[in-house]
Structure 1
Amino acid sequence: MSGEVFLDNWHKQSAANQKKYKNWLQRVQRNKVLKKLPTLHEEAFRHIDCSSCAQCCKNYSPRFKTPDIKRISKHLKMKESLFIDTYLTLDVEGDYVVKQTPCPFLVENNACSIYEIRPSDCARFPYTDEDVLLKRVNITLKNSEFCPAVFYVLEKLTNEKL
């Protein structure tokens, strides 16, 4: 892949490049890019340590789908209804999300107390190795503003001649 990505001041770079990212995401040749995503995803995480950041856990919530709620409440030895009442609320789209940020399962050293059974949204985040990156432009742009891995992948892709 061409071009080095500098992670210093990535927040400012991402903010300055939102229009570039949006234009690129709207006209990209999806099949070509999809083949590159797994490699770029792995490359990004060779440079980025999620536990040094955890902005996703501190500022946003994953969706908790029914299988997630069943699995996590069972692990916590709670009835599903109590788990929901204790930790979750419905958002404007009708999805269960955490009541407050940071995530109640985020513990010291930016670790997740339910990592092995975390919601599928958490396991998949930041979607840099799947088609969500290309299909859901608004989410990708939002994620690029708080996740250095999304910034990294978008920088690599938008600076490359495809």
Structure 2
Amino acid sequence: MAAFSQRLVFIAVTAYLVLGLGAGLVYRELTKHADVAQGQPLQLGVMHTHLLTLGFIVMLIVLALDRLFALGRHKLFPVFFWVYNAGLLLTVAMMAVQGSTVLAGGEESPAVAGMAGMGHIIMTIGLLVFVVVLGSAVWRHVPAAAAEHETAPEPVER
């Protein structure tokens, strides 16, 4: 499962990089052609940073930790992966809907904002599962170099 999980996470890393860069490009081009005032806050503006930071960078860190601790062997790793990514994709999708609506001249929708909030909650649940997975891997993993240098404490003479 560890090799499969690393491939899956690498695919997610690549997808989030492409989506994040693409979202930045789309935002720039849409706002340039729509005559949006510079500095006007739009959800489309932060969509690419969410994809790059919470998608690309977080999954890149997960990939490195999976390589180090074989996190993919843990039974809860797939739960983390799918729950976290579902939450992030829901959040980003709602940002796209809200930003496109506002860009087209519509009003911000509290329902869409609520769904984006649900995406954040789902991501938080995924991160909590990740901490459980990482914690169990850290507690069971003793690097070989550290094990060689560990010695029993010498008795104190009185």
Shorter-chain TM range is under 0.3
Q: Determine which structure has the larger strand proportion and give its number.
A: 1
- Output the TM-score relative to the length of structure 1: 0.23
Using CA pairs under 8 Å that are at least 6 residues apart, name the structure with larger relative contact order, 1 or 2. 1
- Output the TM-score relative to the length of structure 2: 0.24
